[in-house]
Structure 1
């Protein structure tokens, strides 16, 4: 069995509006996870993204990586 690369999603964050189009990003992640046989917890992803961007005062880009096991890594650049 070949190793699947992580699924990556980039999202724009605005301090007043939060993550732009968050539901669409989560829908896309869910669809990609299902098509690759990855585990994905939409609620956990939303919570992790909110925690990662909490207190940011400037626009930023959040990058979420999803592994086949469902583990998530989030980095926020800018803000």
Structure 2
């Protein structure tokens, strides 16, 4: 089973654009695929991963079927 992936735009002034929409989409996909997903933990992990960033970036969250998350933040092209 493949991981679920959600890609989000981060702005240092505004935070992650449409964060609730991204989390809703991930929750729906997780439910449909039988994945474990902790929305609150995902929000916290994303905020921690982008804390102190001063430039626009792309945040990518990978969710495994067990609920484990990996977050990558890279500079926006």
Please give the TM-score of this superposition, normalised by the length of structure 2: 0.97
| Cα deviation, residue 66, structure 1 | 0.1
Structure 1 residue aligned with 2:54, among 50, 53, 57? Answer: 57
| Cα deviation, residue 29, structure 1 | 0.4
Q: CA RMSD in A?
A: 0.8
Larger Rg: 1
| Cα deviation, residue 25, structure 1 | 0.1
Provide runs of 4+ in structure 1 moved above 2 Å: none
> What is the aligned length?
76
The 2-side partners of 1:71 and 1:6 are apart by: 10
The 2-side partners of 1:36 and 1:48 are apart by: 22
| Cα deviation, residue 6, structure 1 | 0.1
| Cα deviation, residue 47, structure 1 | 0.0
| Cα deviation, residue 46, structure 1 | 0.1
Cα deviation per residue 1:17-63 (whole Å; 9 max; x = unaligned)?
00000000000000000000000000000000000000000000000
The 2-side partners of 1:5 and 1:68 are apart by: 8
Gapped regions of structure 1 (runs ≥ 5): none
Gapped regions of structure 2 (runs ≥ 5): none
Q: In structure 1, what is the equivalent of residue 21 of structure 2? A: 24
Give the alignment of 1:1-79 within 5 angstroms. 4-78=1-75
